[in-house]
Amino acid sequence: MIDFYAMPTPNCWRVSIALEEMGLDYEYRRVDIAAGEQFEPAYRAINPIAKIPAIRDRGPAGGGEPIQVFESGAILLYLAEKAGRFLPEDTRERFDVLQWLMWDLSGFGPYLGMCHAFNGGSTPNVGTGEGQEVARPTGKEAADYFGAKSRDLYALLEARLEGREYICNDYSIVDMSVWPHIPPHRLYTVGDLGAYPNLRRWYEALKARPAVQRGFGIDPEVLAGLPAGFRRQLRDEEAPAS
Ligand SMILES: N[C@@H](CCC(=O)N[C@@H](CS)C(=O)NCC(=O)O)C(=O)O
């Protein structure tokens, strides 16, 4: 059994989708980051960087003490190794997945997060939980810069998906890692996906997978409590007919 510490956010959806795709037994444990629960000592003992997601595997391969893992990319690798799925064994193919995974974790995801922050989203993650207060960043130049960056990165993914069903050869953890940053495309000033037909085809195909839907649907209570306009943009939901 795996304890999965999270809330409904793109970084956490990477992991919830992987858990569902791999059919691993897990228990969702909400860490309310709006209430500062990530800074509580009991949680820091699981994740010293005080962020979500994190996991605690109570039944690791080979037995022994539970294994705790933080950072969504490290968690994806741990789960793929545990399940023996979605990370190719062949060296050439494995490193194709790993290089795109590194691109997502170090470039795609972080730039999109900054884009959202500078275009009116929540503050970027700079809190220490020890009284440090940071105002929401503003600045048209930064907003424009990160917006342009986001559209560049989407265009790069669009080119990669030309003639490909998945980002690498087969469906893998890299698809699960990248996908959660596509539903919020409006928050990243990308507009609709009309300019990205390959990306849209891949996005819709994954969205139709039952495991992706389950992973994307964790914690409906929190989702229902989000402001409706923001939730629609975060999750690419249709506006109600007026
Ligand atoms: N690089 C980390 C990023 C984790 C992250 O930034 N998590 C956010 C939620 S999506 C968080 O915990 N924010 C609360 C905070 O920074 O205090 C990962 O991929 O796991």
> Could you tell me if 170 and 132 lie in one domain?
yes
Q: Indicate if 110 and 213 belong to the same structural domain.
A: yes
| SS3 state of residue 57 | strand
Assess whether 79 and 98 both reside in one domain: no
Q: What is the pLDDT of residue 140?
A: 87
Structural domain including 168 reads 91-235
What is the Å distance from ligand 1's center to 72 Cα? 9
Half-sphere exposure of 217 (CA within 13 A, CB side): 9
Question: What is the biggest distance separating any 2 CA atoms in the chain, rounded to whole angstroms?
Answer: 57
Alpha helix stretches (DSSP H) within 104-227: 109-118, 140-160, 173-178, 197-207, 210-216, 220-225
Ligand 1 atom closest to the CA of 71, numbered from 1: 20
C-alpha of residue 10 to centroid of ligand 1, in Å: 9
**CA 53 / ligand 1 centre spacing (Å):** 7
Residue type at position 233:
Q
How many Cβ atoms from other residues are within 10 Å of residue 207's Cβ? 14
Q: What pTM did the predictor assign?
A: 0.94
Distance CA 123, CA 136 (A): 5
Q: Which residue type sits at 111?
A: Y
CA of 44 to the centre of ligand 1 (A): 13
Ligand 1 center to 11 CA (angstroms): 7
CATH number at residue 225: 1.20.1050.10
Q: Whose CA is nearest to atom 16 of ligand 1?
A: 125
**Are both 130 and 197 inside the same structural domain?**
yes
Q: Ligand 1 mean position to 146 CA, how many Å?
A: 19
Pocket around ligand 1 at a 6 A CB cut-off? 9, 11, 33, 38, 51-53, 71-72, 125, 127
Q: Which atom of ligand 1 is nearest to the CA of 70?
A: 20
Q: How many CB atoms neighbour CB 160 within 10 A? A: 17
Here the tokens at position 95 are 């490193």
Is residue 240 situated within a structural domain? Answer: no
- According to the model, what pLDDT value does residue 119 have? 86
What is the full per-residue pLDDT of the chain (242 aa) written as tens digits? 999 999 999 999 999 999 999 999 999 999 999 899 999 999 999 999 999 999 999 999 999 999 999 999 999 999 999 999 999 999 999 999 999 999 999 999 999 999 988 887 765 455 555 555 566 677 889 899 999 999 999 999 999 999 999 999 999 999 999 999 999 999 999 988 999 999 999 999 999 999 999 999 999 999 999 999 999 999 999 887 76
* Ligand 1 atom index nearest CA of 51: 12
Query: End-to-end distance of the chain based on CA atoms, in angstroms?
Result: 45
Assess if residue 241 is contained within a domain. no
Residue-level length of the chain: 242
C-alpha of residue 23 to centroid of ligand 1, in Å: 24
Query: Is there a single domain that holds both residue 163 and residue 112?
Result: yes
Alpha carbons 96 and 87: distance in angstroms, whole number: 10
Domain count, the chain: 2
Atom of ligand 1 nearest to the CA of 129: 17
Q: Which of 125, 133, 177, 219, when mutated, tests ligand 1's pocket best, judged by the most ligand atoms within 8 Å of its CB?
A: 125
